[in-house]
Amino acid sequence: MRHSLSVVILLLFASTSEAQTARRSVALTFDDLPKAIDSGNVIETRHTTSEILAALKRHRAPAIGFVNERQLHVPGEMDARVAVLQQWVQAGFVLGNHTFSHPDLQTTPLSQYEDDVIHGEVITRRLMRNAGPYQLYFRHPFTHTGPTREVRTAFEEFLKTRGYKIAPFTIENSDYIFNKLYLDARKANDRPLLRRIRVAYLDHNDAVFGFIEGLSREMFGREIIQILLIHANDINADCMDEILKRMEARGYAFTTLDRALEDKAYETRDDFVGRMGPSWLHRWTVSLGLKMKLDQEPDPPKWVMEMFQKSLAPR
Ligand SMILES: [Zn+2]
């Protein structure tokens, strides 16, 4: 009896000390609010939001959500859709600008793109008005930061004059690929496939975290505060609790984007210009004179990629 009691006490100590000494830190950022791949049914959008926010609250994880205000302009649903965004603000989270209509800076004339940014902050700024002073953040759609150095510099100047900081990211987990398959499987009511996709998604998330942690140690001799880019979508609504648990199991504590950007690593110059929108860790290799290892980043499993390609093919 005494023996088992001491084991319990030991276990208790072990678990509290682990919680107190998180070795790693990550900021969570959600794109395409109110919802990525919106079914058009605002009740579902509200449900997705509630699930994500409930999981964040359970894990005391702060977050920032990047809004596409075009999604709010649905006839007869505008109030209900604005109320969904209001849920984020009420939960104490920050809303950022992800443009009005999600254009691609790679293919959109700069003046038109800048208009879209201005158009994209009207409701969000109003919702945040009573939330106290906060840093304005901008996240580029597709994380495309400009087709040329000139466009990039001009746009960054525009952002600065409007008070925006760019929201970088270091980790993304291809959630939009898994989400597409997840929605298809749900429509087909294929429960075994839903489970399989979910497990593959969680495992892939671990794989990209492992890769980025290693890259971070290689580049900076330590693990920097990471910034995760995911979407406000169905698979994350269903998996958020598990995703956060897995991060905690890796030793992560959750922090704000403001705090993450205080990490000196984010002062590294980003000289990347290109067609892709990779992790800032990959971008920094340009100014640090290192070899880019984008091709070594883990892909989702082959069956997932094949199923995704097939799902996009015209029928
Ligand atoms: Zn987006």
pLDDT of 56 above 70: yes
CA 31 to ligand 1 centroid distance, Å: 5
pLDDT band at 19 (very low <50, low <70, confident <90, very high): very low
CA 17 to ligand 1 centroid distance, Å: 38
- pLDDT tens for 74-120 read 999 999 999 999 999 999 999 999 999 999 999 999 999 999 999 99
CA 190 to ligand 1 centroid distance, Å: 28
CA 98 to ligand 1 centroid distance, Å: 7
CA 92 to ligand 1 centroid distance, Å: 22
pLDDT of residue 130: 80
Mean pLDDT across the stretch 160-179?
Answer: 98
CA 66 to ligand 1 centroid distance, Å: 8
pLDDT of residue 39: 80
CA 276 to ligand 1 centroid distance, Å: 14
pLDDT of 148 above 90: yes
pLDDT of 68 above 80: yes
pLDDT of 14 above 90: no
70 CB-near residues (< 8 Å, 6+ apart): 100, 101, 102, 120
pLDDT of residue 20: 47
CA 231 to ligand 1 centroid distance, Å: 8
pLDDT of 38 above 90: no
CA 201 to ligand 1 centroid distance, Å: 19
Mean pLDDT across the stretch 21-40?
Answer: 90
Q: Residue 192: is the preceding peptide bond cis (ω within 30°)?
A: no
CA 312 to ligand 1 centroid distance, Å: 18
pLDDT of residue 250: 96
CA 101 to ligand 1 centroid distance, Å: 9
CA 139 to ligand 1 centroid distance, Å: 8
CA 102 to ligand 1 centroid distance, Å: 6
- Count of CB atoms situated within 10 Å of the CB of 142: 14
pLDDT of residue 2: 45
Q: Which of 154 and 6 is assigned the larger pLDDT?
A: 154
pLDDT of residue 251: 97
pLDDT band at 9 (very low <50, low <70, confident <90, very high): very low
CA 279 to ligand 1 centroid distance, Å: 14
pLDDT of 28 above 60: yes
CA 32 to ligand 1 centroid distance, Å: 5
Q: Quote the mean pLDDT of the chain.
A: 93
pLDDT of 63 above 50: yes
Structure pTM? 0.92
pLDDT of residue 315: 66
